């Protein structure tokens, strides 16, 4: 096995090895992890071996677990806490940030959320300012998938936020200004986020709190060079037509990091993607949109001579593609036309198939997700105490790309994926994107090939969180798996083998790749 | 002045000269032309000097004018009926098609439309099959434009239709298979449409009529080569999130033309864009999406040495651009974030500010448009008699590009344009897109520069129709005007100078250019 510059085998040094089935909640991704369930009430410790955990920091109450700030949770020896080659300075900074971050999240009944109320006419759950977001009902009819009609709550957040990363060059090496940020829904409280992560209500200060740091570099880039500026969707199963502005701005050498921020080399950030629950969704989607020319060459840590070479050719756009760009676009258009999907907004009150309890709005069969409320106390934020509802997905999803060498170029298998809340109903998703335990009917294609792949074909495997500002304790298992010989180069109609470069080119435009695919595409850059 | 191959000066030979102000309805584009108004009841003749008009063909009843089939309406001498160089065979074919086409459109009260009814709960106007389209209400709130809140009827047509053009090469010259097609809303009944123009309800034969010819080449391209396959929006002021699949498929030499179809050289079709009311909206949007490499070189008819050269460089992507592609995309994204627009579906019944009469649904102040009903009898269609509602815009719009030579490359001034019904609320529109007489408040930027330009700067000027399957008697004035020195290269924030090639590259993707801009972009190809 090739080794890292430090001489340690790469796989052994990461904490994202394929997981054998055990009863540990981290290693059993398909066990529902509810805060009231036994696995949670035991109190999961993130493990901060370097220092004592302060009990006052980052707790979840109301029968839920106490959870420490986001230092990677593991029972491994301290030297295995971070992937090989991670800068000691970074590790120390993050541990300090965890110590300095105080936050407390308590579940509260939905009808007692301060600043929020149910609309008398519709039952929609709204903020008193009329801003931020609304939880309302959605009625979906579709010829796609196993269920042709259903109702669900959905987050309607029409305003466009900014997910912005500042980058600078230091001796020819790109660095990113990341932030250690806590969000109320995070199960590992502290995560790495982009430089700026703010809804329009935040940055226009509807909450009357402090101003958002570094915002001016994105609103008025001035001397900075805009490398990425594109609207991208977010979870189409939970949001109604939500999109955020993904930005990367290249600045000079004169932008200092605040207490909560740190300049990190891009190659180090790519490596940190392998750490469970560390790099947040917003950072992942922004990274995925970086032009491939911006990534420096191989870090000298090829996975395996053939795979690494094939991956680099895929990223760089070298070598043949299975389908040229025009064919890929034509397939995408054709796929959009194959099915019809209508999503109609309806009142949240009386949604067929859903139960309304003080603590939650939940499906009668307990599937998919519920709506819960939290009271949040947090320092280092524009506002230090607030209430809000969150969506609480039940069960852990699998988000996976199958990758295959075709003519010596790595190709990823993307899927034409309908989701009710997407702007145009369909985007390209990863090969597998599902919550196996919530799946109505048989498992979707390729789930088996992903979950039963032998360890040597699992190139990436980490539990990564979805946006903690809207989702409660939501981690999915992100995987990149080399396809076996049982997966041919000929695809079913709903799938296409494409290169990383082809996807990167599409990411100059909005609404081609869904957030799950973008998240996972960022992780591809952890592999070369 | 350079001459055409036939030796006739180009401008004199077309019928799209800049029009002096007169009282003739064709030459006074801002006079409201209502079927009940005096200018209409006089009975406008399209002029078929070659043959007698048969009174049984193509009539509008119910107090409206009798209108002949779409032979270009003009009082010019017969040899001036078609632009120079138009093939005699084409002219004879189109005149024959007009003679062979029989259609009759009669206005009927909305509550007496056969097959359509008002929903008892919402008042929405629906087809009994539940298909085709629904006329419902829309409630718009926006921080963009002069009016911050309004209600309007809107056409909701969630299904995706196909606008498909077959092309083939004959001795290296591209030819298009066009169709002479009548639509109930056309004021000049017969127009040139793409090979296939069918809603999903049409081609899945909800109407139980005949099958759509040539459809198979688009649904299963097989041996054909797909050159264009992209979803594009339609009128965002009148449709709710409507989009159609724009397709161009290159086929071999073995596809014969049906009676209603004809193979026409692409350069001839480009020239026919100059004829008032001839090339329909669907053909224009499909043509606009053709890759610029597909257009053969100059036809030897430059407008003017400098303009033609600058235009060709603009189409081909030669020479410098004022803003690189990344800057244009960033400007587009930033523009989307500058304003908020929410469009909420509401019942059609009781729409504030609208009156409900048997003959129409109309605004209390008479502005913008009304909803009317028609009874249609038409041969040569899948179904030969039906009823339907149509939107009837009041007043004639101006759709114009200002064009400017910047570093010897022609640049078009595009506008970041919000429209309530667009999928993502904003697309790029032409420099000017408005109905001057319906405009609340002062006229938008650049209207004056367009309408008062001296004739030598008016490069294109034709009355072209919007989709006659949904809109009643709707023609807009499409213009391309060379900017004077009073229009600087520095743009206001909502505008950008871009090249034809930059727009063509964006047209590989959906939802960048609105239908008005695409229509007019097709006309640019009539200029070189």
- Looking at per-residue confidence, does B61 or B516 come out higher? B516
Q: Which residue has the higher pLDDT, B169 or B293?
A: B169
Distance of CA B305 to the CA centre of its chain: 29
Across B7-16, B142-151, B303-312, B464-473, the highest mean pLDDT is recorded for: B464-473
Q: What is the pLDDT of residue A203?
A: 73
| Apex B79 CA angle, B77 and B82, nearest 5 | 105
Residues B285 and B193: beta-carbon distance below 8 Å: no
- Summarize pLDDT for B476-489 with one digit per residue, the tens: 999 999 999 999 99
Q: Which residues have a Cβ under 8 Å from the Cβ of A256 and sit 6 or more positions away?
A: none
Look up residue A255 and give its two tokens.
Answer: 């932008």
Q: Give the CA distances from residue B471 to residues A83, A502, B98, B476, in Å, rounded to whole numbers and listed in that order.
A: 63, 40, 21, 12
Residue A21 clears pLDDT 90, i.e. is over it: no
Token pair 């801002």: residue: B30
Q: Which two tokens stand for residue A440?
A: 């109505």
Nearest chain A residue to B245, by CA: A333
List, for residues A410-426, the tens digit of each pLDDT value: 999 999 999 999 999 99
Q: Is the pLDDT of residue B437 over 90?
A: no
Listed in order, strand segments (DSSP E) in A267-325 are none
The band of B93, judged by pLDDT with boundaries at 50, 70 and 90, is very high
Asked whether the beta carbons of residue B333 and residue A230 sit closer than 8 angstroms, the reply is yes
Q: Which CATH class is domain A12-106+157-342+393-524?
A: alpha beta
Nearest residue to A163 via CA among A210, A211, A206, A214: A214
**Count of residues making up chain A:** 528
User: Mean pLDDT throughout A316-342?
Assistant: 95
Chain B residue numbers with beta carbons less than 8 Å from the beta carbon of A342 are: 158
B310 in Cβ contact with B317 (< 8 Å): no
Q: How far is CA B355 from the centre of its chain?
A: 28
Distance CA B386, CA A106 (A): 62
- Tell me how close the Cα of B499 comes to any Cα of chain A, in angstroms: 19
For residues B412 and B401, the answer to whether their CB atoms sit within 8 Å is yes
* Confidence band of B441 (pLDDT split at 50, 70, 90): confident
Do B390 and B375 form a contact (C-beta atoms < 8 A)? no
Residue scoring higher pLDDT (B113 or B47): B113
| Separation of alpha carbons A265 and A284, rounded Å | 15
- Best mutation target among B133, B157, B330 (most A Cβ atoms within 10 Å) is B330
Which candidate from B200, B340, B511 shows the least CB-CB separation from A159? B340
Whether the Cβ atoms of residue A463 and residue A520 lie closer than 8 Å to each other: no
Q: Which residue has the tokens 């170029």?
A: A409
Element (H, E) at B338: helix B325-338
Contacts of B244 (CB under 8 A, 6+ apart): B160, B161, B162, B163, B231, B232, B234, B282, B285
Closest CA to B206 of B157, B163, B257, B241: B157
- E strand or H helix at A329: helix A325-338
Assign 3-class secondary structure to B135-169.
EEEEEEEECCCCCCEEEEEEEECCCCEEEEEEEEE
CA distance A332 to A10: 37
Q: Which is it for strands A458-465 and A475-482: parallel, antiparallel or unpaired?
A: antiparallel
Give me the mean pLDDT over the B398-415 stretch. 97
Residues belonging to chain A with any Cβ–Cβ distance to chain B shorter than 8 Å: 158-160, 200, 226-227, 229-231, 243, 245, 326-327, 329-330, 333-334, 336-337, 340, 342, 344-345, 423-424, 508-511
Residue A83: band (very low, low, confident or very high) from pLDDT cuts 50, 70, 90: confident
Q: How many Å apart are CA A338 and CA A102, to the nearest integer?
A: 50
| Domain locations along chain A | 12-106+157-342+393-524
Beta carbons of A191 and A279 less than 8 angstroms apart? yes
pLDDT above 90: percentage of residues in chain A: 70
Enumerate the residues of chain B whose CB falls inside 8 A of the CB of residue A160: 336-337
Q: What's residue B419's pLDDT?
A: 96
Structure letter (DSSP) for residue B288:
H
pLDDT-based confidence at B199, cuts 50/70/90? confident
Instruction: Give the pLDDT of residue B301.
Output: 53
* 8-state DSSP, B302: -
| Higher pLDDT, residue A376 or A44 | A376
* Contacts B222 to A, Cβ<8 Å: none
Instruction: Quote ipTM for the complex.
Output: 0.86
Which of these ranges, A11-15, A133-137, A163-167, has the smallest mean pLDDT? A11-15
d(CA B164, CA A334): 13
Q: Which residue has the higher pLDDT, A176 or A438?
A: A176
pLDDT, mean over chain B = 84
Per-residue b or e along A178-203, where b marks 16 or more CB atoms closer than 10 Å to that residue's CB? bbbbbbbbbbbbbbbbbbbbbbbbbb
pLDDT exceeds cutoff 50 at B316: yes
Q: What single DSSP character describes residue B26?
A: G
Chain B contact set for A230 (CB, 8 A): 329, 333
Q: Is A130 left (phi over 0), alpha (psi -120 to 50) or beta?
A: left
Contact A450, A369 (CB under 8 A): no
Q: Give the lowest-confidence range in A292-296, B326-330, B426-430.
A: A292-296
Distance of alpha carbon B179 from alpha carbon B188, whole angstroms: 15
Q: Residue A478 in contact with residue A16, Cβ under 8 Å? A: no
Taking residue B43's Cβ as centre, other Cβ atoms within 10 Å add up to 11
Helices (H), B352-460: 447-451
Specify the pLDDT at position B234.
97
Give strand ranges (E) for B183-242.
190-193, 196-198, 225-233, 239-240
Chain B: closest CA distance from residue A496 (Å): 17
Residue A36 confidence class, pLDDT cut points 50, 70, 90: very low
Q: Is the pLDDT of residue B298 over 70?
A: no
State the average pLDDT over residues B248-264.
95
What's the average model confidence in pLDDT over A317-327? 96
Cα B249 to Cα A178: distance, rounded to the nearest angstrom: 48
Partners of A345 on chain B (C-beta within 8 Å) are 344-345
Does residue B253 or residue B56 have the better pLDDT?
Answer: B253
E strand or H helix that includes residue A164: strand A161-170
Q: Measured between alpha carbons, how far is A136 from A124 in angstroms, rounded to an integer? A: 5
Determine the distance in angstroms separating the CA of A162 from the nearest CA of chain B, rounded to an integer.
10
Residues of B in contact with A126 (CB under 8 A): none
User: Does A2 score more than 90 pLDDT?
Assistant: no
* Nearest residue of A to residue B330, measured between CA atoms: A229
Segment A50-80, tens digit of pLDDT: 333 332 234 544 433 333 344 443 333 444 5
Cross-chain residue pair B342–A158, CB shorter than 8 Å: yes
Put simply, the answer to whether B334 touches A510 (Cβ < 8 Å) is: no
Question: A466: pLDDT confidence band, cut at 50, 70 and 90?
Answer: very high
CB environment B236-272: b (16+ within 10 A), e (fewer): bbbbbbbbbbbbbbbbeeebebeebbbbbbbbbbbbb
Q: What is the pLDDT of residue A79?
A: 44
Using a pLDDT cut of 90, give the percent of chain B over it. 70
Band (A44; pLDDT cuts 50, 70, 90)? very low
Tokens representing B416?
């970041």
* pLDDT, tens digit, 9 for 90 and up, residues A109-129: 999 999 999 999 999 999 999
B120-126 long-range contacts, CB within 8 A, separation 24+? B121/B347, B122/B347, B122/B348, B122/B349, B123/B347, B123/B348, B123/B349, B123/B350, B124/B347, B124/B348, B124/B349, B125/B348, B125/B371, B125/B389
Q: Say how far apart CA B304 and CA B356 lie, in whole Å.
A: 53
Q: Do B334 and A229 touch (CB under 8 A)?
A: yes
Say whether pLDDT at A382 is over 60: yes
- CB-based burial label for A145 (10 Å; 0-12, 13-18, 19+): middle
The token pair that represents A486 in the structure block: 């049982």
Give me the mean pLDDT over the A182-188 stretch.
93
Q: How confident is the model at residue B297 (pLDDT cuts 50, 70, 90)?
A: low
User: What is the residue whose two structure tokens read 């989702």?
Assistant: A471
B473: left (phi over 0), alpha (psi -120 to 50) or beta: left
Q: At what angle do helices B515-524 and B281-288 cross, to 10 degrees?
A: 70
Q: Distance from A503 to chain B by nearest Cα, in Å?
A: 14
């Amino acid at each position: 096995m090739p080794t890292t510059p430090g001489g340690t085998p790469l796989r052994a040094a990461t904490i994202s090895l394929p997981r054998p089935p055990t009863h540990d909640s981290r290693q059993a991704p398909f066990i529902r992890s509810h805060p009231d369930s036994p696995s949670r009430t035991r109190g999961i410790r993130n493990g901060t071996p370097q220092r004592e955990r302060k009990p006052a920091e980052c707790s979840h109450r109301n029968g839920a677990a106490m959870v420490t700030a986001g230092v990677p949770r593991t029972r491994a020896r301290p030297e295995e806490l971070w992937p090989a080659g991670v800068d000691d300075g970074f590790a120390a900074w993050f541990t300090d940030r965890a110590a300095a971050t105080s936050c407390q999240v308590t579940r509260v009944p939905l009808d007692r959320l301060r600043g929020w109320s149910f609309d008398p006419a519709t039952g929609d759950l709204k903020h008193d300012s009329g801003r931020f977001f609304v939880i309302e009902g959605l009625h979906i009819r579709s010829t796609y998938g196993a269920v042709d009609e259903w109702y669900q709550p959905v987050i309607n957040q029409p305003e466009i936020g900014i997910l912005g990363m500042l980058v600078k060059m230091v001796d020819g090496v790109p660095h990113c200004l990341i932030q250690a940020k806590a969000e109320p829904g995070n199960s590992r409280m502290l995560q790495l986020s982009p430089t700026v992560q703010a809804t329009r209500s935040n940055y226009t200060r509807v909450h009357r709190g402090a101003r958002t740091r570094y915002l001016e570099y994105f609103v008025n880039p001035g001397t900075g060079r805009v490398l990425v500026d594109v609207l991208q969707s977010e979870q189409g199963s939970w949001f109604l037509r939500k999109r955020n502005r993904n930005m990367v701005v290249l600045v000079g050498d004169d932008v200092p990091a605040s207490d909560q921020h740190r300049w990190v080399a891009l190659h180090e950030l790519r490596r940190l993607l392998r750490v469970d629950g560390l790099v947040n969704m917003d950072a992942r989607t922004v990274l995925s949109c970086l032009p491939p020319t911006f990534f420096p060459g191989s870090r000298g840590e090829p996975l395996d001579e053939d795979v690494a070479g094939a991956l680099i050719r895929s990223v760089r756009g070298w070598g043949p593609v299975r389908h040229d760009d025009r064919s890929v676009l034509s397939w995408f258009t054709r796929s959009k036309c194959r099915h019809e999907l209508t999503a109609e907004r309806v009142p949240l009150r009386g949604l067929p198939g859903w139960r309304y309890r003080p603590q939650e709005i939940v499906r009668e069969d307990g599937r998919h997700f519920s709506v819960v409320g939290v009271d949040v106390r947090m320092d280092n934020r524009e506002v230090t105490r607030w209430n809000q509802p969150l969506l609480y997905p039940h069960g852990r999803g699998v988000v996976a790309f199958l990758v295959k060498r075709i003519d010596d170029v790595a190709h990823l298998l993307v899927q034409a994926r309908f989701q009710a809340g997407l702007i145009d109903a369909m985007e390209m998703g990863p090969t597998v994107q599902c919550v196996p335990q919530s799946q109505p009917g048989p498992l979707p294609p390729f789930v088996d090939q992903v979950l039963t792949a032998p360890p040597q074909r699992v190139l990436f495997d980490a539990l990564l969180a979805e946006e903690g500002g809207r989702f409660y304790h939501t981690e999915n298992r992100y995987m990149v798996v080399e396809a076996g010989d049982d997966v041919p180069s000929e695809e079913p109609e709903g799938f296409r083998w494409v290169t990383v470069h082809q996807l990167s080119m599409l990411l100059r435009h909005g609404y081609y790749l869904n957030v799950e695919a973008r998240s996972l595409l960022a992780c591809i850059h952890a592999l070369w």
